[in-house]
A = this chain, B = another copy of it.
Amino acid sequence: MPDLSQVTRGRILFGGDYNPEQWPEEVWHEDVRLMKEAGVNSVTLGVFSWAKLEPRPGAREFGWLDRLMDLMHGNGVGVVLATPTSSPPPWMGRLHPETLPRDENGQIEWWGSRQHFSHSSDTYRRYAAAITEDLAARYGGHPALTMWHINNEYCTYDWGDEAAATFRDWLKRRYGTLDALNEAWGTAFWSQGYDGWHEILPPRRAHYMRNPTHVLDFKRFTSDMLLECYVIERDIVRRHTPHLPVTTNFMPMWVGQDAWRWAEEEDVVSVDIYPDPRDPFGAQNGALIQDMTRSQAGGGPWMLMEQAAGPVNWRGVNHPKPRGLNRLWSLQAVARGADAVCYFQWRQSRQGAEKFHSGMVSHAGEQGRTYQEVKQLGAELASIGAEVTGHHIPSDVAVLFDWNSWWAGAQDGRLSSEVDLPQVVRAWHRALWEAHITTAFAHPEHDLSPYRLVVVPQLYLLTDTAIENLLAYVRGGGTLVSGFLTGVADEDDRVRPGGMDARLRDLFGIRTLHEWWPLDAGEHVECAGLPGTFRGTLWSEEIEAADRDEAVPHVYRGGELDGLPAVLRKGRAWYVSTLPEPTALRGLLVRIADDAGVRPVLAGLPDGVEAVRRGEVLFVLNHGRDKVTVDIPGTHRDLLTGATVTGSLSLGRYGAAVLKP
């Protein structure tokens, strides 16, 4: 199987989306000069070029792209070639309005922006296949070509009539019979029983809450239909170039794609990461996506397909990256497994909807700080590439995450709209990140035996297979910590008897889960125990423990739940029925991890300093603005500077060291 290593060959890929059709050809030569000065070795071409390649149905205009491919090749820049199918040309919507998606209100998403295609449209798919076929045929043998990039940030929905038809087909495949569907959806409630497949629609706008399993299946269907679009194009390019890897770029922890399933269909897993430079947890959020993407890549190297050299333009207020931050976050990605550091986009647009999104070459041009920092980074990446590419990141801890559970848990008629799964996952990952415990992510049905500790921030929906997997993991000696709202529903979003699966209740020592007590925004509960009292937020539970002799590490103090268990422990299985405040959650996890034999990468690090080991190499990153001194046992060479580091290391603001023993 082709993979990223054949593209990197010991170098970290450095470059970005390149949309030269926005510029006169004389600028292309300026681009090449600046790319070479910056050490750019890879660009992605053609992401939004459909109208340029096929200005009217069936037409083909390849000349400009031929010249670009040759230009890149002639200058030693590899090309990741994109299929242009994420933005159909205007003629498609006009000639084939059925290719335009409709939202749940029946409103059309017109052309004039991007991603105005229905994943279910046969017409769209045919046109997309045809242009993909012709691109692959023409450039499959071009020496500049290193990889295929299918479409871009798949992220659309469609509630229209053609999607209704493919939804019914998908449901037939899933359920076989209408009886099975009616049973799975619980249509006996509210008189929703279907008597014919043709009665089923996407979950369109309705008077009141829609059937949650209907909505859940529509989310599954949407992810699957987009994946079908991807696979069709992937199979075409693969037929032409079986030796070249194929990818499509994820958005970070995007709700619309079950990335576990998608990653299985990719040769290279790639992702776009855009933390807000102002976010005090930006570095941790970046680390989380990096950990998740690496795990989707099977632990192997992955590709940072897009980041911003400066500001983005889609937030309310879009802040630039302060001096040094672009470098720091790029090195963090490498530390956590990226073998490609790329940007959207090479040269900042002067026109169009993203002209205020930064580029590697900003409006300020060559003299601008942005390009100057890019150039420095390019040199640094070149200096460390050989020592880090291809190397893996060891991890004894897995955090479990599942899209199905997210989708089901986010239903309308839930107990608390304050509970947002990504926020809960971030809170648990943050506790581990701040403790310098490098973490993998896993699906609840994955083999968990490689891990000493498995953390479940929240898995509202768990299949029977997943539950058995968790039980077997603990039986096998693993340590499991679970947050609240886990194991509530089965695969069809049917609440399990008792409000939580009986096997899990037994695992954690819960006799009766009397009531869930969600907390208001800003509300907290006190939890008392050893080593001290903490505050819980978001949630609490009225639980009767199975056995008074079991350990109840923390109980609620005060309020309606006074004296009832807040944290339960039965052997190596822990259940945390609230969201502890950050220091308490970190303390709890450190203690459990330590008992499970899990150690931090480095001990005694100053606040804001991150340490990650990749292969033999130790990355030390200072996310703070103050100078810090870090104790580093032994002697290392800093690959960035060539300096020898013995015993301790001094890092300035946003400073980084890449240390080889």
Q: Which residues of A come within 8 Å of B, CB atoms?
A: 19, 21-22, 48-52, 55-56, 84, 87-91, 94, 101, 105-116, 156, 185-196, 198-201, 203-214, 278, 310-311, 313-314, 316-320, 322-323, 349-357, 362-365, 367-370, 412-418, 492-495, 497-499, 512-521, 542, 560
Which residue from B22, B48, B56, B513 sits with its C-beta under 8 Å from A195?
Answer: B56
Q: Please list 30 pairs of residues, one from A and one from B, whose beta carbons are closer than 8 Å in the complex, sorted by A's number.
A: A19-B189, A21-B188, A50-B191, A52-B191, A56-B195, A84-B191, A87-B190, A87-B192, A90-B195, A91-B199, A112-B201, A112-B203, A113-B209, A114-B207, A115-B207, A116-B206, A186-B349, A186-B355, A278-B520, A311-B516, A317-B519, A320-B515, A349-B495, A350-B494, A354-B413, A362-B515, A363-B499, A364-B499, A364-B512, A369-B515
* Cα(A412)–Cα(B211), bound, Å: 34
In the complex, the answer to whether A367 meets B313 with C-beta atoms within 8 Å is no
* Cα(A204)–Cα(B443), bound, Å: 40
In the complex, the answer to whether A413 meets B353 with C-beta atoms within 8 Å is yes
Nearest 4 CB-CB pairings of A with B: A186-B351, A189-B352, A113-B206, A363-B499
Between A49, A191, A200, A519, the greatest number of chain B beta carbons within 10 A of the residue's beta carbon is seen for: A191
* Cα(A204)–Cα(B116), bound, Å: 12
Which residue from B52, B211, B318, B520 sits with its C-beta under 8 Å from A193?
Answer: B52
A308–chain B nearest beta-carbon distance, Å: 12
| Residues of B close to A196: CB separation below 8 A | 91
A96–chain B nearest beta-carbon distance, Å: 12
* Cα(A413)–Cα(B314), bound, Å: 6
In the complex, the answer to whether B364 meets A210 with C-beta atoms within 8 Å is no
A274–chain B nearest beta-carbon distance, Å: 14
In the complex, the answer to whether B198 meets A94 with C-beta atoms within 8 Å is yes
Given contacts A314-B413, A352-B190, A494-B350, contact A204 B110 (CB under 8 A): yes
In the complex, the answer to whether A364 meets B498 with C-beta atoms within 8 Å is yes
Given contacts A110-B205, A194-B90, A208-B113, contact A189 B349 (CB under 8 A): yes
In the complex, the answer to whether B320 meets A517 with C-beta atoms within 8 Å is yes
| Residues of B close to A319: CB separation below 8 A | 517-518
* Cα(A492)–Cα(B352), bound, Å: 10
Between A105, A107, A199, the greatest number of chain B beta carbons within 10 A of the residue's beta carbon is seen for: A199
Which residue from B108, B116, B212, B316 sits with its C-beta under 8 Å from A418?
Answer: B316
| Residues of B close to A55: CB separation below 8 A | 193, 195
| Residues of B close to A194: CB separation below 8 A | 90
Name the residue of chain B whose CB is nearest to the CB of A513: B364
* Cα(A110)–Cα(B192), bound, Å: 12
* Cα(A93)–Cα(B659), bound, Å: 67
